[in-house]
Amino acid sequence: MSTTPGPATDGEIPAYLAAVGLAGLVDIHVHFLPEPMLRKVWAFFDEAGVRYGVPWPITYRFDEPTRLRVARRLGMRVIPALTYPHKPGMATWLNEWCREFADRVPDAVHCATLYPEPGVGDYVAAAVTAGARLFKVHLQVGEFAADDALLDPAWAVLAEHRVPVVLHGGSAPAPGRHTGPDGVGRLLGRHPGLVLVIAHLGMPEYHAFADLAERYPGVHLDTTMAGTDFADRFAPLPAGYRQRLLALGDRVVLGSDFPNIPYPYAHQLQALARLDLGDEWMRRVLWTNGARLLRLGAD
């Protein structure tokens, strides 16, 4: 098992992809947001030194057209627009913005989100009918439990249609009232057919979320920030975890958090390559698994 060294700079990404036999990347964890909301997110991360004790400079702080050009140049063949509400009534207008984004950006992935509120099942069903292929749920920002009973109708729709959901359930970079694997485990007990993509490999509860991936065939893990020098400062991969990633190779998916990352995009690919799990594992993570989840080429 050999692993091609990862790219040291963004400019080296095309040569790296060619070396491992890929024409591009499927990154499932990318944020495009309404501009006023994005500015608030960036302002939040600008205070990360106070909030988390770790500076978090935004590497790709550009306007939307520039960010789209950069994403394509980095090798993204499709571009998700993950959004997440933090209060009632917010998900519906975010879903409308996501639909409009998908209409005007040819290579966009039509995304949607949800919040525990009356009618959530109806607007999730409407988003799926309209073509949403990827949902985002952020338990930390939204401050709600994955197994909140209000969400049951929405989860039922998503399980029935096998629509993947990128779910931030781990307790990094700071724990929330509803973070951690327990609520997600209860959710899966009620809706075992869900296709959940656990963001950040579930950091720092890596092993507990890997347990859920082993127990439920629809559970995947996305690599966002995992193994980077930045994340290793507060949530390093634990002993024995590398072999679990190898065993779960068909359900590990590339994620990055672009554009809201404090290092060059290439560093995420470099961090994965230095796990030394082989080029075939890298091909599955960087392309095959994400393409399957998003049904690329299936339409």
Beta bridge partner(s), residue 108: 79
Whether pLDDT at 2 is above 90: no
Residue 9 lies in a domain: no
In a domain, 299, yes or no: no
DSSP-based three-state secondary structure for 106:
coil
Give per-residue pLDDT as tens, 199-238. 999 999 999 999 999 999 999 999 999 999 999 999 999 9
Residue 268 has pLDDT above 50, yes or no: yes
- Classify residue 24: in a domain, yes or no: yes
Please report, for the domain that includes residue 36, its CATH number. 3.20.20.140
Residue 236 placed within a domain: yes
Containing structural domain, residue 202: 15-293
Judged against a pLDDT cut of 60, whether residue 299 lies above it is answered with no
Report yes or no on 6 lying in a domain: no
Q: pLDDT tens digits, residue range 51-94?
A: 888 899 999 999 999 999 999 999 999 999 999 999 999 999 99
191 found inside a domain = yes
Q: What is the pLDDT of residue 187?
A: 98
Considering only CA atoms, which of 223, 218, 225 is closest in space to residue 293? 218
Contact between 166 and 255 under an 8 Å Cβ cutoff? The reply is yes
Tell me, yes or no, whether 298 lies in a domain: no
Does the pLDDT value for residue 292 go beyond 70?
yes
Q: Looking at the domain assignment, is residue 32 inside a domain?
A: yes
Pairing, β 134-138 against β 165-168 = parallel
The total of structural domains in the chain comes to: 1
